[in-house]
Structure 1
Amino acid sequence: MTDPVVARSRKGATRLVHASPLASSDTEWRYGYRVTEPGRTALDLATNLPFAEAVVSLDSALRDPQEHGPVVPGSDEADKTVLTLDQLDEASRRRGAIRAHRRFGTVRSFVDGRSGSPGESLSRVVLNERGWPPPVLQQPFVDKWGLIGYADFWWPQFGVIGEFDGYVKYSQGNYLKGAAPADAVVAEKRREDRLRALPEVRTVVRWMWSDVTRAERLDGLLAAAGVRKAR
């Protein structure tokens, strides 16, 4: 919580109260509660959370669920308010000088709404920390039959596509879009076959949560696929 009246922040058993000024434009009413608006909320997350958690949160806030196809009506994604970097920057200007300004700048320069999931966002953080070259995000690929799809990660200099596979991709309705899990697996296999057949694609490498949380495993997968570290 943020309280513009108290002199210092305090942490209780059930809540953390930040002593911080709030302009009238920093807040709005949602579901009967006064809350910070999206830009101010994102600013607070960027300056208070650890880097990886801040990136995951802000990538999600910036992500437009409509960008790569329709969303399931009535889902959380369908009702989402998409944050823009302009809103984030405006919230920063209203807030003025803050002790965590450098931290905010680091997060601000790294976040990217093209990351398609929390797993992809965390993967980007780990790739950066481990010295891997930055990939192109959501690169579209086409063949003679049309659009194949968007690759999570693409290293054109190595001809390598990277794909993060979370369990929800084959289990939750907003990812399945009405298909059965088995059909989704078959469709993904056919998609990968089409990608591998492209002359610019040398291979496709996949990883899961367990590979991201144990970074040495992700290192091994990328090295085996032919990606070379930037440093």
Structure 2
Amino acid sequence: MTAQTTPPRISQTSQTPQRDLPRKRLLRAKDLWDAYGSSELTGGFLEVDDIGRRLSAMVDAGQLLRVQRGVYIEPSIWLQTAPWERHLIVAAAVNLQSPSTRFCRTTALAMHGFGLLRPPEAVTVRTARNDAVGLHPGTALTGRASASAIQRLLQAHPEAHPEAHDGGAPSPAALRALGTRRHQYPRAFRDQLREGLGQEWDKPYQDALVRQRFPIPESAPAALVAGMWTWLEPIGLVLADTVPRMSFAEAVAVLDAYRAGRFGAQAEPGGVLSAVEPWLSLVASARGRERWKVAWEFSEAGAESVGESWARVRIAELGFTAPELQRRFLLPHGVTCRTDFYWEDPGIVGEFDGLQKYRASMTLSGLHPAQAVIAEKEREDGLRSLGVRVVRFTWADLQDSTRLQRLLSNAGVPRSARSTGAHVFYRDNRRAGRPRRAR
């Protein structure tokens, strides 16, 4: 990524550069030095260390955020980006510093366009060095900024994206650094356990890598990663290598999206098992293979969002009958609607209310959020006029299984003795849905 043609004004006398640095993009100290370090600026010459010191001063003052060592971003961009997309900004910074990086596992899933149930805690990349495997903590986004400077920074951006799917004002947690987690190649790719790619697999692996433009986080400016290309592993390998390492709910959310074709820059045809099967031999353990099988068999193409997938898992965990997905109803005023969940015998509709659908209503349907709420109320009234009961639940309800159980029981949703088989995802047969420590 090259620097813009207009040089930033960096005063030789002030403690920090003036705030006309390139906006809406990742900024490298190296770019500034390569373009302007040897040129006369404001009556003097700048040394590369001087540029770095002044950018660091801006970080300490809350005027810039340091995403990776030597890579900076405007605070407004970071805070306006959805929390579950910020890890792509860090991945872009990693890619900017090392364009040959091979992204894998959860980061590769996000780059392929999959929605994830939880924001990744680190950017995941491949390494051929055994001594480099593991989590490498990220640099502090706010440098040595004081608590008061951080508070002023948050207060200066009231338009910041909510910190949770169901809302929530930004807090200092919004400025938490994300590190990089480096993984060795799958064991089957290595001639010896402590070495990188073996000769037999080197060419097939390199040929299978996907070269694509870096995906733009939905709530970030397009200029952020303009012109950036990246390398990532193919979808089949990523799914086979990642799904068995996820929680049951996370795995189902990914496989629901795969079956439905909800990945990629454009809508893909529904993913099929045959596209993943050549890579499943890389799953080394019997437990991993069983986890894949259970998650695949539970997954369905009908779930239309990560939240709906999680709701399906929660409903099953709590012992309720599996609902029908995307049931169509003809409402009295002649409009056809689809419901998220439907239990036919008792005549109950379940609706997952992710607040994102209201925030994104202008893009999705052209309706103002207030109009979207009114339209949703009219739709619900139409369903009730057909004799259908409606129960609604939110992201917060999914997080509190007791509350969700009470909602569904009070609505009259029937019980079932079915088993998800999800115990294979948790050691010692712990309750499905309980998070495991990352490996």
Name the TM tier (shorter chain): 0.7 to 0.9
8 Å contact 1:160–1:205 — kept in the other structure?
yes
Question: RMSD of the TM alignment (CA)?
Answer: 2.7
Measured against aligned partners, the alpha-carbon deviations of 1:111-168 in whole angstroms (never above 9, x if no partner) come to 2222122111111111111111100011111145434311000000111000000111
* Structural mapping, 1:47-196, within 5 Å: 47-64=244-261, 79-82=265-268, 84-86=270-272, 88-96=273-281, 98=283, 99=285, 100-143=288-331, 145-173=333-361, 176-196=364-384
- Does the C-alpha gap of structure 1 residues 135 and 141 become closer, same or farther in structure 2, counting only changes over 3 Å? same
Query: Given the two structures, how large is their TM-score scaled by the length of structure 2?
Result: 0.45
- Structure 1 vs Structure 2: percent identity of aligned residues? 30
Corresponding letter in the other structure for 2:381: D
In structure 1, C-alpha distance between the alignment counterparts of 2:362 and 2:368, rounded to whole Å:
12
Corresponding letter in the other structure for 2:348: V
8 Å contact 1:40–1:92 — kept in the other structure?
no
Corresponding letter in the other structure for 2:298: F
Q: Which residue of 2 aligns with 1:34?
A: 231
Rg larger in structure: 2
5+ unaligned residues in a row in structure 2: which ranges?
Answer: 1-103, 105-124, 137-179, 190-200, 214-228, 418-439
Task: Decide which structure has greater strand share.
Answer: 1
Q: Which residue of 2 aligns with 1:17?
A: 183
Q: Which residue of 2 aligns with 1:208?
A: 394
Q: Does 1:230 align with 2:422?
A: no
In structure 1, C-alpha distance between the alignment counterparts of 2:365 and 2:308, rounded to whole Å:
20
In structure 2, C-alpha distance between the alignment counterparts of 1:177 and 1:59, rounded to whole Å:
24
In structure 1, C-alpha distance between the alignment counterparts of 2:415 and 2:184, rounded to whole Å:
41
8 Å contact 1:160–1:204 — kept in the other structure?
yes
- Does the C-alpha gap of structure 1 residues 95 and 18 become closer, same or farther in structure 2, counting only changes over 3 Å? farther
- Equivalent pairs, count: 217
- Does the C-alpha gap of structure 1 residues 9 and 58 become closer, same or farther in structure 2, counting only changes over 3 Å? farther
8 Å contact 1:154–1:161 — kept in the other structure?
yes
Query: Given the two structures, how large is their TM-score scaled by the length of structure 1?
Result: 0.82
CA drift at 1:9: 9.6
5+ unaligned residues in a row in structure 1: which ranges?
Answer: 66-76
Name the SS for the 2:276 alignment partner.
helix
8 Å contact 1:138–1:152 — kept in the other structure?
yes
- Does the C-alpha gap of structure 1 residues 94 and 6 become closer, same or farther in structure 2, counting only changes over 3 Å? farther
8 Å contact 1:55–1:121 — kept in the other structure?
yes
- Does the C-alpha gap of structure 1 residues 93 and 184 become closer, same or farther in structure 2, counting only changes over 3 Å? same
